[in-house]
Amino acid sequence: MNTTTEIDEMLPEYDFSKGVRGKHFEAYKQSSNVIFLEEDVAKVFKNSESVNHALRLLINIADRETRNA
């Protein structure tokens, strides 16, 4: 890459001179699980709480079925 080109493309209002690469990477990695729901599923589950509740119920059912098998 050409450093001159990179500098020329940077707008003057962007100042990353005191930036720290990867400063929030570990926190982001630990707390983000992005999942895309199909439209019909998203109509039923409006937020993370409702999705997590349903999945926990499913986990409990699966655990019981596994123990009873």
pTM over 0.95: no
Cα–Cα distances (Å) from 25 to 21, 36, 46, in that order, read 9, 22, 28
Task: Categorize the per-residue pLDDT at 3 as very low, low, confident or very high, splitting at 50, 70 and 90.
Answer: low
Contact 45/37 with Cβ under 8 angstroms?
Answer: yes
DSSP 11-57: -TT---TT--TTTTHHHHHHH----PPPHHHHHH--SHHHHHHHHHH
Kindly report, residue by residue over 7-36, the tens digit of the pLDDT: 567 788 888 888 999 888 888 878 777 788
pLDDT in tens, 31-69: 777 788 999 999 999 998 999 999 999 999 999 999 988
> Domain spans of the chain?
45-69
Three-state secondary-structure class, residue 69: coil
C-alpha to C-alpha distances, 58 to 15, 24, 47, nearest whole angstrom: 49, 33, 17
